[in-house]
């Protein structure tokens, strides 16, 4: 029934794209919200700097990091499903996506460019 209702308004492919984009937005907002709450948090921090932060800030920083990893993995899984269903899309041909299983950090570094291919 969901497929029938969704086909009335938009395609299933568009629903997947929307879900991927919203998951990516959630991923980005986790870090942005933490940075707004605690301006002492910088984009790149050394281990020594993190250890010099207050206990509450450190704990929340680590919790947000774990949450970002969970959301990022959920995002990658959604994209894998999307690429199985729609293998001719540009996003499926992205070089760092093709080598994700071997070099996941490459895609993580270029995630912002990758999502633009949708």
pLDDT at 6: 52
Cα end-to-end span (Å), the chain: 26
- Is 41 in a helix, a strand, or coil? coil
pLDDT at 24: 96
21-31 confidence digits (pLDDT tens): 999 999 999 98
- DSSP-assigned letter for residue 91: G
CA–CA gap between residue 48 and residue 88 (Å, rounded): 46
Whether residue 5 has pLDDT greater than 80: no
pLDDT at 1: 45
DSSP string, 23-70: HHHHHHHHHHHHHHH-TT--SS--HHHHHHS-HHHHHHHHHHHHHHHH
Residue of 85, 75, 111, 77 whose CA lies nearest to 96: 111
7-23 confidence digits (pLDDT tens): 567 888 999 999 999 99
34-84 confidence digits (pLDDT tens): 888 878 777 677 778 777 888 888 888 889 989 999 999 999 999 999 999
CA–CA gap between residue 51 and residue 53 (Å, rounded): 5
């Amino acid at each position: 029934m969901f497929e029938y209702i969704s086909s009335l308004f938009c395609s299933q492919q568009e629903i997947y794209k929307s879900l991927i984009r919203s998951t990516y937005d959630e991923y980005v907002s986790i870090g942005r919200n933490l940075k707004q709450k605690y301006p002492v948090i910088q984009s790149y921090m050394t281990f020594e700097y993190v250890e010099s932060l207050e206990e509450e800030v450190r704990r929340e920083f680590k919790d947000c990091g774990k949450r970002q990893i969970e959301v990022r993995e959920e995002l990658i899984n959604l994209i894998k499903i999307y690429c199985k269903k729609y293998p001719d899309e540009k996003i499926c041909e992205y070089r760092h996506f093709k080598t994700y299983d071997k070099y996941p950090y490459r895609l993580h570094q270029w995630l912002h460019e990758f999502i633009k291919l949708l």
